[in-house]
Structure 1
Amino acid sequence: MTDLAQAPTIQLAAPTAPALAQAGGDIDDVLQRLRWHLSEVAVREVVVGGSSRDGGGGIRFHYVLSGSVDLGIGDETISMRAGDFAMLTRPDGVEVAGVEDGSLLTGTFAVDSPDGTERVLPPVLFVCRLDAREPVIVSLLESMRSEFVDRRPGSHTVLDRSADVVASAALRIWFERGCDEPRRWFAAALDPHLARAIDAIHEAPGEHWTVESLARLARASRSQFAEQFRTALDETPARYLTRVRMERAEGMLRDGWAVAQIAFELGYDSDAGFSRAFRRHAGVSPSSWQRSARHAHGAAGRPVVHATA
């Protein structure tokens, strides 16, 4: 059997979605499991013909204040106009291109939950005309920027509470649209067999996981598990394992771990193998990333403000 972390990445056509499972429980059950936190927020100017790429960890959000932009996500493009909102759970490589001059409120959320529900968030949550659907939420979203910049006493708590409300409301609206994608995600989020394999990866990312060993945990055949996994999470088990390891590595680098220690803990055969995987993920070496993180967060671990006045 091949260790997933060492296996080459093979791009496969997305499988046909199976009949939707009935998602037990209601949306409140899922929303209560998720706790959102704000890492950074900024206002970016949008210029026709200009573009930039998202990167780094966390969950990126974009709210169009004025003008319009295109989000390039792989082979797909999402056109966003003033009032539209998007959350990207896998922002690396997403291109933001200006279509009309304007401005964009953008930032990064972190999310966690006691049972790992955040691990199966869909790649993109797009809400058309958030300003019309939830004007109070938009006001709260815009106030987060000034709160982040001013850093008044208690701002950390206020920002976390605000992030929780904004992200939960956006997720609820996305679910209420009634199309198949959110229904399928909630079914996957509540699938105990798939969750068992996902939890195992997160609890022990340094194990030499294979599709076969994960399929046994999910009580499925190898082929059935691989298809269910890709349908629910929009990526292969191998790619998911690597992403979890890289996100864990980022946290360990922030905490001052040595590269050799991280490589060993995360199941890599050598420092060089880990460093290559990390560079593919972050675009820089682990040591460079660690130096940048120390500079950005400072001794107190507070996020840097990247915002216009």
Structure 2
Amino acid sequence: MTAIDLSPPADPLGQALHFLRLSGTFYCHTSVTEPWGVTVPAMGDYLWFHVVTSGRCLLEVDGGDVQELGPGQLALVPHGRGHRLRSEPGVAVPDVTQLPHEYFDDRYAVLRHGGGGAPGTLVCGGVRFDHPAARELVALLPRLLHLDASRGTEAQWLQATLQLITAEATTLRPGGETVLTRLSDILVVQAIRAWIEADPAAQTGWLGALRDPKIGQAISLIHRHPAHPWTLASLAAEVAMSRSAFAARFTEIAGEPVMAYLTRWRMHLAREQLLDGAAVGELAGRLGYHSIAAFSRAFKRVHGMPPSAIRRQAGQPGSPSI
């Protein structure tokens, strides 16, 4: 049998960012005329983004956050929170899912809406990140993330990407929906990277643990080889720390004991693979468990339900219905 390479990557945080691959995505080119307003209802674990390419609007997120958006500005609304977009305060905000859309395919549509006044355009989308590392990262984002292309360290890349999006949204040439969706994917990932680099909140907790030279290596080893028979002693040895010092430091930085993190990580992987149709029996062995009973107990402890309940969810629709 070929030996497993347990050497950790040089950049554990970079490895986590590698898992920011979008799935379950829906994009909408929105042409509006004042006065206008829409409500985006709460939708599970979707992250919504809104790019204003012309005109202005107010973004109001459930929980009290309000942000004015103008050309060259981007907002992310993570965690599936409901929110409203409108041209000015007090304008009616009908449910966007009830408005007529022109569909190009099952992932891209055009919405035309408003009262016939001054025009504006937006590119909007709902995206999901299925990999557990990506979900862990997105869970740390604030209720509303706002980026302005005219200021900050992210100005150059944001301006360039938004200019391309604006050009495509303005003309809608053949194949434009493909270009818009891929540019939007890049924009969302870039925005999350910019937040990690700039926000003090991203320097602590799980992200802070990834940045730690020792703890980050241990987390990367768990991510890369979840089925390996890890113990507290073996992980400590891999990062050249004593068992007691490693255990204390991991808990202090990551916020939970290392073996609890290992179990939780395995169970997050199990959930995603169950939703993809994997059998419980094969997952138990694939994730380092010697019996289905032990695997099922760990799964229920983490997710609050047996693996069979997750299996029943497999095959259900994964995209927002607009």
TM-score > 0.5, shorter chain as reference: yes
Gaps of 5+ in 2: 1-9, 29-37, 51-57, 97-123, 169-173
Q: Which one of the candidate residues 302, 306, 311 is aligned to 1:290?
A: 311
Instruction: Output the amino acid matched with 2:60.
Output: G
Paired position in structure 1 for 2:147: 130
Gaps of 5+ in 1: 1-23, 71-78, 145-151, 297-303
Give the TM-score taking structure 1 as reference length.
0.55
Q: Which one of the candidate residues 277, 287, 296 is aligned to 1:266?
A: 287
CA contact 1:120–1:232 (8 Å) conserved in 2? no
Rounded Cα–Cα distance in structure 2 between residues aligned with 1:191 and 1:184: 11
> Relative to 1, partners in 2 of residues 1:63 and 1:252: Cα closer, same or farther, differing over 3 Å?
closer
- The answer to whether structure 1 residue 162 and structure 2 residue 184 are counterparts is yes
Shift of 1:306: 1.0
CA contact 1:38–1:160 (8 Å) conserved in 2? no
Rounded Cα–Cα distance in structure 1 between residues aligned with 2:164 and 2:293: 45
Rounded Cα–Cα distance in structure 2 between residues aligned with 1:287 and 1:306: 25
Report how many residues are paired.
244
Paired position in structure 2 for 1:37: 21
> Relative to 1, partners in 2 of residues 1:31 and 1:212: Cα closer, same or farther, differing over 3 Å?
closer
Note the alpha carbon deviations across 1:193-247, whole angstroms, 9 max, x for none: 3343223323332334332322222222334323433454444323321232123
Q: Which one of the candidate residues 56, 81, 89 is aligned to 2:66?
A: 81
Rounded Cα–Cα distance in structure 1 between residues aligned with 2:222 and 2:17: 19
Note the alpha carbon deviations across 1:51-107, whole angstroms, 9 max, x for none: x6845xxxx53458732323xxxxxxxx5323685576xx6xxx9477999689643
Rounded Cα–Cα distance in structure 2 between residues aligned with 1:294 and 1:200: 31
Paired position in structure 1 for 2:127: 107
Q: Which one of the candidate residues 47, 61, 81 is aligned to 2:47?
A: 61
SS at match of 1:293: coil
- The answer to whether structure 1 residue 220 and structure 2 residue 234 are counterparts is no
Give the TM-score taking structure 2 as reference length.
0.54
Shift of 1:182: 3.2
Quote the sequence identity (%): 28
SS at match of 2:315: helix
Rounded Cα–Cα distance in structure 2 between residues aligned with 1:172 and 1:287: 39
Paired position in structure 2 for 1:11: none
Instruction: Output the amino acid matched with 2:20.
Output: W
Rounded Cα–Cα distance in structure 2 between residues aligned with 1:141 and 1:285: 44
SS at match of 1:215: helix
SS at match of 2:274: helix
